[in-house]
Amino acid sequence: MNTTSVDSTAQVDLDILLKAYRLMMTAKTMADTYEENKNICSKYVHSTSRGHEAIQLATAFHLTETDYLSVYYRDESILLGLGLSPYELMLQLMAKKDDPFSGGRTYYGHPSLRRAGFPVIPHQSSATGMQAIPATGMAHALAYLESQGLQEAADGRMVVCSLGDGSVTEGEVAEAFQMAVLKSLPILYLVQDNDWGISATGAEMRAMDAYEYAAGFKGLERIRVDGADFIDSYTGLQEAFKLVREQRRPILVHAKCPLLGHHTSGVRREWYRGENLSAHALQDPLPRLGAQLLEQGVTADELISIAQEVKLEVQAQYEKALAAASPDPATFARHEFAPTPVVEETGTRTPAQAEKVTMVDAALHAVDELLKEYPEALFYGQDVGGELGGVFREAALLAKKYGDNRVFNTPIQEAYIVGSTAGMSAVGAKPIVEIQFADYIWPGINQLVEELSKSCYLSMGKFPVQALIRVPIGAYGGGGPYHSGSIESTLLNIRGIKVVYPSNAADMKGLMKAAFLDPNPVVMLEHKGLYWSKVPGTEDAKTVEPAADYLLPLGKAHVVQRADAQQVEQGNSVTVITYGMGVYWAKSASKQLNGSVEILDLRTLNPLDFEAVVASVQQHGKVLVLTEEPLMNSFAESLAGRISRTCFQHLDAPVFTLGAENLPAVPLNVELEKMMLPNADKVLASLRELLAY
């Protein structure tokens, strides 16, 4: 393919040009209407497509209902080109009840759409680069489903990911490009380059433009088009779409555009752009297309008539949107999560003649059974494929059994591993992914927060993200500062995700199956020190393996050890509320306390089985909340505060808490590690103090 420019002299059907002109005029009139009614239309921040209409409409005209689209916040004209009405877009502008994307929950130009005759447009964040990963995940899902014979490559389904030029400097965009060329994915990256960020110019932000940058990704085809010229944009994109549909590989289209409107309504262009506004106005795509239509025989009166018709249409739709109802405040909490099908414990937990297995093997067998039953399921992450099968052998031999398209290694790209699941889920694949160590999840947090956690809520339930994210966690003796951390409190501050933390093999298998079937993002924290039951005192983590049909619903705590009835009756009992390794510290400590200790294993941290917590606290009146995390500002302290408020009248002592020392990392030396972390002796001391209170 030509890598400098495409031939813009080719003729485009007159009907297409007239349609484009009408929609360009629509976009201009909408922007003018918003500017004329700033007291109403700037209540919520918005951005328009002025200057970008040509490339955006050309893109829209090449998309089909079998495609997938990831837009950015300026892509209003793409939406118009697909057939959405100004009225529908204005409903979002004014945060109205019938906003078809989010019901008034998110900004203008942030669509999420499943509608017959339209490309699928999953939810995404404000799209300043991070959308490239979920979009590439969509293309990855298409390639995967085609590799398994679940879809036909000949159908030509593809993904379009739209980006502003400033966003291409994001590291997550590089991760997306790398995976697109590595896996030869059917995706078109459209970069709209207006040479501005907010108040920063391209020269301030980058050493090269996106076209030049793309040259560094071997296998990423690239072309330039004049984004202010509809004919050049249309013909260039025609060639680009054809390549992706037929050859199933990625391309980047770099389109230079003027920026005629504000960056957003909250940042006035006249404050900082000066004469630059006049220079950009000379590139306005609307009069350019008008001149091309005049050259083809369309009369000036016809163009004037189109403008008059559009003005009346836009005004009528504006007034209709202005009068539309606002959302019912009572609906504000709907769609935090999509309903899960697993609400009861089912299947056989302890089959006859079944042997005991370690937690790591229970997890391995669970994934094996899921891959066998669900052809749309796949498993990927660092070092989980090939010969190794995970650094803990938690995916041993799965790649050989199911093939490298289903179980495979990724680059060191935690953001891609996490964020791609949003795109995978939108297309219909069922991803199971792994972050190698909890300490390495931080590069993926942006995707977890912005893309996965918000999708169901902001799309009004249209795009829950089905993703099972496995994360080995915790200290296991000399792992040091980068392989021993606990992260649950950080995760639990992210709304819209579920967090599971099993403490034994049977729970591991049942919860993993339920997490996979849950239509929401689930992070499964798997304690490395419990994987093989080799740490003294953790022998009970090894259990009889449940049958393949066993499901354990999320959000159900379990009493793993009950206090003696006599001790309870005498008021000499205490409950330990804990999870993970804390279960075994509490078990070891309780052996010296004569039946006085009940242990409640939470198993799931969100959703939390607070009813079970309350019942246990009310029965015993004394409670220790035990965690492996540094204690200050932790989930454990939060839970203790909630217990204090809810159960105050039933408490016979303050709620005790115990966790790691408040240090920034787990030290390498095992004696230093021992000083930092809780252990059975420290738990015993706390329990004795509490019982004596």
Write out 470-481 in H/E/C secondary structure: EEEECCCCCCCC
DSSP alpha helices (H): ranges in 127-258?
A: 132-147, 171-182, 202-205, 210-214, 230-247
CB atoms within 10 A of CB 477: 12
**Residues sharing a CB contact under 8 Å with residue 521, sequence separation 6 or more, in sequence order:** 421, 448, 452, 453, 465, 466, 467, 469, 496, 497, 498
Q: Report how far apart the first and last C-alpha atoms of the chain are (Å, whole number).
A: 79
Global confidence as pTM: 0.95
Q: What's the CA gap between 91 and 193, in Å, rounded?
A: 28
- CA 397, 398, 401, 405 dihedral sign is negative
Distance CA 231, CA 292 (A): 9
Query: In terms of pLDDT, which residue wins out, 367 or 264?
Result: 367
Residue 198 has pLDDT above 90, yes or no: no
Q: Quick one: which of 561, 535, 27, 19 has its CA closest to 298?
A: 19
Q: Which residues contact 311 (CB under 8 A, 6 or more apart)?
A: 29
- Which residues contact residue 341 at a Cβ distance below 8 angstroms, ignoring those fewer than 6 apart? 517
Q: How far is CA 467 from CA 125, 260, 527, in A?
A: 18, 40, 20
Average pLDDT over residues 426-454: 96
Q: What is the mean pLDDT of residues 584-606?
A: 97
Query: What's the pLDDT at 387?
Result: 76
548-559 average pLDDT score: 98
Tell me what pLDDT residue 126 has.
75
Mean pLDDT of 320-349: 97
- Residue 170 pLDDT > 50, yes or no? yes
Residue 8: what pLDDT? 45
Report the percent of the chain where pLDDT is more than 70. 99
Burial class (CB in 10 A: 0-12, 13-18, 19+), 160: buried
Phi, psi angles (nearest 5°) of residue 303: -70, -40
**Would the pLDDT of 288 be above 70?**
yes
- Give CB contacts under 8 A, 24+ apart, made by 373-377: 374/430, 374/516, 375/148, 375/150, 376/145, 376/148, 376/150, 376/428, 376/429, 376/430, 377/406, 377/429, 377/430, 377/431, 377/432, 377/516
Q: Is 558 helix (H, G, I), strand (E, B) or coil?
A: strand
For residues 447 and 109, give the distance between their C-alpha atoms in angstroms, rounded to a whole number.
20
574 pLDDT tier (thresholds 50, 70, 90): very high
Q: Is 451 left (phi over 0), alpha (psi -120 to 50) or beta?
A: alpha
Mean pLDDT of 657-673: 96
Instruction: State the alpha helices, DSSP H only, in 554-625.
Output: 565-569, 582-590, 610-620
Residue 42 or 287, more confident: 287
Asked which of 399-413, 568-582, 656-670 is least confident by mean pLDDT, the reply is 399-413
- Contact criterion met (CB below 8 Å) for 618 and 575: no
Between 386-395, 544-553, 584-593, the lowest mean confidence (pLDDT) is in: 386-395
Instruction: Assign 656 to helix, strand or coil.
Output: strand
Provide the token pair at 60.
Answer: 């829209």
User: Using CB atoms within 10 A of its CB, is residue 334 exposed (0-12), middle (13-18) or buried (19+)?
Assistant: middle
Which residues have a Cβ under 8 Å from the Cβ of 631 and sit 6 or more positions away?
637, 657, 658, 659, 660, 661, 662
Mean pLDDT of 62-88: 97
pLDDT recorded at residue 183: 96
Contact 109, 47 (CB under 8 A): yes
Tens of pLDDT, residue by residue over 461-493, are 999 999 999 999 999 999 999 999 999 999 999
State the pLDDT confidence band at 6, using cuts at 50, 70 and 90. very low
Residue 412 pLDDT greater than 80, yes or no: yes
CA–CA gap between residue 166 and residue 371 (Å, rounded): 40
Q: Residues near 36 by Cβ (< 8 Å), separated by ≥ 6?
A: none
pLDDT digits (tens, 9 = 90+) for 364-407: 999 999 999 999 999 999 988 877 777 777 777 898 899 999 99
The residues carrying an active-site annotation are 483
Sorting pLDDT into bands at 50, 70 and 90, what band is 204? confident
Query: What is the distance between the alpha carbons of residues 472 and 394, in angstroms, rounded to a whole number?
Result: 10
Residue 227 in this model has a pLDDT that exceeds 80: yes
Q: Which residue, 657, 630, 536, 546, is CA-closest to 587?
A: 536
d(CA 636, CA 624) in angstroms, rounded, equals 10
Per-residue pLDDT, averaged over 509-522, amounts to: 98
From 119, 122, 123, select the one nearest 106 (Cα to Cα). Answer: 123
Q: Report the C-alpha gap between 440 and 413 in whole angstroms.
A: 10
**Complete domains list, the chain, with CATH:** 14-324 (3.40.50.970), 356-544 (3.40.50.970), 558-692 (3.40.50.920)
For residue 525, is pLDDT > 80?
Answer: yes
CA 639 distance to own-chain centroid: 26
Beta bridge partners of 306: none
HEC sequence for 521-543:
EEEEEEEHHHCCCCCCCCHHHCE
Helix (H) or strand (E) holding 191: strand 187-193
Under 8 Å CB-to-CB from 307, ≥6 apart: which residues?
25, 29
Please count the other Cβ atoms lying within 10 Å of the Cβ belonging to residue 47.
Answer: 22
The arithmetic mean of pLDDT across residues 322-331, rounded, is 97
Closest CA to 533 of 506, 504, 508, 560: 504
Question: Which pLDDT belongs to residue 346?
Answer: 98
Assess whether pLDDT exceeds 60 at residue 260. yes
Cis peptide bond prior to 607, omega within 30° of 0? yes
The answer to whether the beta carbons of residues 501 and 515 sit under 8 Å apart is no
Distance CA 463, CA 580 (A): 31
Q: How confident is the model at residue 9 (pLDDT cuts 50, 70, 90)?
A: very low
Average pLDDT, the chain: 94
Condensed to tens digits (0 to 9), the pLDDT of residues 131-166 reads: 999 999 999 999 999 999 999 999 999 999 999 999
Q: What's the pLDDT at 10?
A: 54
Residue 4 has pLDDT above 70, yes or no: no
Distance CA 66, CA 357 (A): 45
pLDDT over 80 at 50, yes or no: yes
Q: Which of 44-48, 246-250, 406-410 has the lowest mean pLDDT?
A: 44-48
**Calpha distance 463→72 (Å, rounded):** 17
| Rounded Cα–Cα distance for residues 426 and 123 (Å) | 9
**Residue 648 DSSP SS3:** helix
Angle at the Cα of 230 from the Cα atoms of 228 and 231, rounded to 5 degrees = 125
Query: Which range has the worst mean pLDDT, 88-97, 394-403, 490-499?
Result: 394-403
In this predicted structure, the answer to whether residue 7 has a pLDDT above a threshold of 50 is no
What single-letter DSSP state applies at residue 385? Answer: S
Q: What integer pLDDT is reported at residue 264 of this predicted model? A: 81
Q: Are 230 and 22 in contact (CB under 8 A)?
A: no
List residues bridging with 523 in a β-sheet.
469, 499
